[in-house]
Chains A and B, each alone.
Chain A
Amino acid sequence: MALFSSLSERLNHIFSKMTKHGKLTALEIKEAMREIRVALLEADVNFSVVKSFIAKVSELAIGEEILKSLTPTQQVIKIVRDNLIELMGGENQKLNISPKPPTVIMMCGLQGSGKTTFAGKLALKLKKEGKKPLLVACDIYRPAAIEQLKVLGKSIQVDVFERGTNNPVKTCKEAIQYAEKFSIDTVIIDTAGRLQIDEKLMQELKEIKKEINPTEILLVIDAMIGQEAVSVSTAFNDALDVSGVVLTKIDGDTRGGAALSIRAVIGKPIKFVGVGEKLTDIEPFYPDRMASRILGMGDVLTLIDKAQEAVDEKTAKELERKFRENSFDLNDYIEQVNSLKKMGGLKSVLSMMPGIGGKLKQIEEQIDEKKLEKNKAIIQSMTPKERANPDIINGSRRQRIAKGAGVEVSDVNMLIKQFNQSKEMMKMMKNPKAYGGKMAMIKKLMGS
């Protein structure tokens, strides 16, 4: 999830130039703001949103306060960050729940924005939270759209309500009656994608809204959308008074400036982000975390959340002890690979680490998730004794392991070498003074 990484690269660059200068002059701020403007525009933030953002931030930045301060770079970052957070809506906003079930969630958006996939993701998420969701297929225009939702529903074992290509307004009404009858607490309506200037189809959405009065109307927007973000979100909001926004497809290398534009223009919160092609790839949207990421300050909070989901406390404590005592063995390594996977893979974890933001691209090239899998296979071909004491793995054992895992002996050698290196690294972390030079280098790499 490398959202905004390019933007952070740029901002980091601007601010690193500033640090070298020491105290800031008004002229330098102006230069920084010019680069922020270009960076934001290249991140697809809407033209007019950029304009007002820059004006506001410049006003705040060019002042005595900042010129007199001891760490001007940090102050500029803080001002830009605070304003980005404000622009994106402050705090995370949860889904509205109807006091009287069912809660009705209506999705809308342009063609290809990812409504159907997102409807599936949301249904799965709610199901995991103990709700009983129902998916309603109302896209009667795109060939096989209903079929797509049915396949999705089947894969997550959520019922799909459809009436073929009948009038969607009627289908929605019947779906809600069905939900009431079978005590289903959440109804998710997937509508057809449409252009915001298609009056006939916009009218259809208005009618659905009028008939079923949804608890939540979510506007689904492709995070890669360009300057159009403003006219699209404005038109849908004018027609439906949407209650929230969902940003999809931010698992590519999109810069996602739409997040900034939409909230600034329609004033509605972004509630979720779709972060991948798997149905579990859905996350709440946190403006503060996102702003931190924009500035390359990492997304540690999301990382902690994910880690908590993936690792139970007992395992974590045990691991911590092993780190401390340097008795980390290959069994733990496997455990780590598994938790990493649960957390969304190594790349996803790395992209959330502070200071990695700008360097992710370089690192990404070196990471091969397949290699992790290969290493797992190698370790699984070892005896428990070997896993606990890798030192006993001699030549013939290596050959046996390689055969068992279906790899070359050199792969086994590589793994053991890497394992020893990481143990060495852990020693360094424990006792940084003894490794002064190297530690400083690592710290530098981590950007702290």
Chain B
Amino acid sequence: MCMTTTATFSRYADLPALIGLMEGDEKHDGASLSTVDVLWVLYDRVLSTTPETAEAPDRDRFLLSKGHGPTAFYAVLAAKGFLKVSALRGWASFDSPLGHHPDRVLVPGAEIGSGSLGHGLPLALGSALGLRAQGLRRADGAEPRVVVLVGDGELDEGSNHEAIAAAARLGVDNLTVVVIDNDSSQHGWPGGIGRRFEVEGWETREVNGRDHDALEKAFTPSDDGRPLVVVARIRNGNRGADHA
């Protein structure tokens, strides 16, 4: 395989090959991973953050709470230039910065270390409150936003529900949660995941988690004082390494 520049691997169509570098199977259909489309749309169309602004106080933050099965995340970070493509090879080996769960201290562009479920949403709430308390504004005048990705199975963890209730009560509308709903919660969410947020006062949008235009539209910030949840339904997610 020929890798001359990262620009060679900067498109959505390159993600399967980038993921293949980690999984040892370059023909693997990485696009079937449940998070890949949401991650791509966020980094390609939604978030105001680049490798050059990765330390800027006014950047948008993306927090991967569902830290398992992170190959799609690493691939998107590589495609967007946060990570060198060469770093993908040898992942999870002793000297690699990339493990089966990301460590923010080791991975350029990763805002949090995650793996144990139910930690990202409270961290995201605190980040959103901190950005607001500091009165930070992006160059375009907008308030920096915090987007956190959780799994529907991950919502089993009670810590999420502490943050879901508190975020709406505190009116934290610079916070967005995207739930990857691949129907992997042990006991399910009767009436749908969105209701758990709606009843607490969140703006709730449901969307096909593979539809890039629909995802982009769903991520349009809410401006009415309510935090936003985007429930991204994934019907063909493989129930394997990135389950939950």
Question: Real complex partners, A and B?
Answer: no
Q: Residues on B close to A: CB < 8 A?
A: none
